[in-house]
Amino acid sequence: MSAAPHPFLEELVAFATPEETKRDLLEAKVVWFERAGEVFEEDRQFEMRLAAFLEHYVCDRIAPHFGKTPARERYERAVREPDVARAAGFRSLTETRHGLFEVERLRPGEVRLSSLFGGVSRDVTERRQLVGLEEGDVLEARLIPRDGHFYFSPAYCFHPHEAAEKIREEAQRLAAQGQVDELAFIHECAQRALKVARYRQISVDKIYDFGARR
């Protein structure tokens, strides 16, 4: 799957990662990969996981040197600039939706996703063919609103088709018990996806056995 690139996402990353704040970036990176699973350059998911961290760093995480997310800081600066379109573009990066989603419907040019936590459905514009994705599958994605539509960000994590029901059931169990730490669950699932890629001899059912940790 490929994402329709946001015109200002790369610019936002550059804005948020200057040399003078490199220490904060490195510290945040260590924390992220401790939680989501350490990746190595030889991993097929390496670039995707790095992109996911950067999106979190610029869109979700409160930067100590700004006291707000880099996306919010850049948008507030853009508002004071004359280009209204740029301000609107940066604003959309403060309104992204990151989560675990179930594929409700696939049709040419569009995929309907339902959030596993909250059940909110959104239609996502995607004109390229979603190879390997089926209705009922679960994926981690970040959705970016732009011009009245949602688009996929460059980073996402597919979970095996065989794991979808187990992920849904565990999400429902956590929600019913009032124990929802959505990001922690996203990270746990991401770790399990890494194990599937690395340990082909272990069944998907066993890797996504959430009951084993309770």
Residue 6, Cβ neighbours under 10 Å: how many?
Answer: 21
Q: Which residue has the higher pLDDT, 137 or 43?
A: 137
**Residues 60, 90: Cα–Cα separation, whole Å:** 14
Catalogue all structural domains in the chain, each as residue range(s) with its CATH number.
9-161 (2.40.50.140)
CB 159 within 8 A of CB 200: no
Q: Give pLDDT, residue 5.
A: 55
Residue of higher predicted confidence among 139 and 147: 139
Q: Which of 59, 65, 53 is nearest to 28 (CA)?
A: 53
Please determine, for residue 3, whether its predicted confidence score (pLDDT) is greater than 60: no
214: pLDDT strictly greater than 80: no
Phi, psi dihedral angles at 168 (to 5 degrees): -60, -45
Percentage of the residues of the chain whose pLDDT score is greater than 90: 82
Q: Is 98 a residue whose pLDDT tops 80?
A: yes
Confidence of residue 1 (pLDDT cuts 50, 70, 90): very low
Question: What is the rounded CA–CA span in Å between residue 101 and residue 142?
Answer: 10
CB of 98 closer than 8 Å to CB of 122: no
DSSP conformation class of 13:
H
